[in-house]
Chains A and B, each alone.
Chain A
Amino acid sequence: DAGVTQSPTHLIKTRGQQVTLRCSPKSGHDTVSWYQQALGQGPQFIFQYYEEEERQRGNFPDRFSGHQFPNYSSELNVNALLLGDSALYLCASSATMTGNNGYTFGSGTRLTVV
């Protein structure tokens, strides 16, 4: 049973560019959340998608946007990249919107902005 799959695993972008990260949730999960994890810190909530709509959003600027497809997979888009956007981007899926029973995380996409 495949868990959460993220692509690409690593990415190097230049300041000002745009990036798209992709996620396929665990089988049976319909809710996808995205988190940003800076080095030495815990994951920070970006947003959550359920039924193809953004349901919750954390304290991130609107340069961060997303999408969920009918097959529950999701994309995270970041525009006008800043050096501070360098981080590990984690996709997490759950069987419920609340996530009260925890998430299944992917291995992440390591984004480096130069």
Chain B
Amino acid sequence: QKEVEQDPGPLSVPEGAIVSLNCTYSNSAFQYFMWYRQYSRKGPELLMYTYSSGNKEDGRFTAQVDKSSKYISLFIRDSQPSDSATYLCAMTGGTNAGKSTFGDGTTLTVKP
């Protein structure tokens, strides 16, 4: 079983919809949680990072971490066609400091 599980999708939504992307993990030592966006043929781009449990908002993006459930989410409000990409969650901490563990990504398509 992988340390980080992510629903691969694909996920298709109409423009303007609220999107929810999720990851679960098994390693309780993870303390830092990141979300990356990856367009085709490009490297991942950091969207947000959070520490421990709680919420963090940045524009249309909100990241949530529930360490008690080992569950993290990324919400995208007012989704745009330009949000169409693969979204990767990543986490690090404890003995894994210095090496992020990634999910396999969720592919999102936002239709105009």
User: Measuring CB to CB, which residues of chain A are less than 8 angstroms from any residue of chain B?
Assistant: 4, 33, 35, 40-45, 48, 55-56, 58, 90, 92, 97-108
Contact = CB atoms under 8 A, between A and B. Distances in A.
A3 B6 CA distance: 28
A101 B92 CA distance: 10
B72 interface: no
Contact of B44 (A40, A58, A90, A100): A90
Interface of B: 4, 6, 8, 31-32, 34, 36, 41-46, 49, 51, 88, 90, 92-93, 97-105
A48 B98 contact: yes
Given A42-B103, A55-B98, A4 B43 contact: yes
> From DSSP, what is the main secondary structure of chain A's interface residues?
loop
Given A100-B32, A100-B92, A108 B98 contact: no
A100 B100 CA distance: 8
Contacts of B34: 102
Contact of B99 (A58, A90, A102): A58
A107 B40 CA distance: 10
A11 B8 CA distance: 28
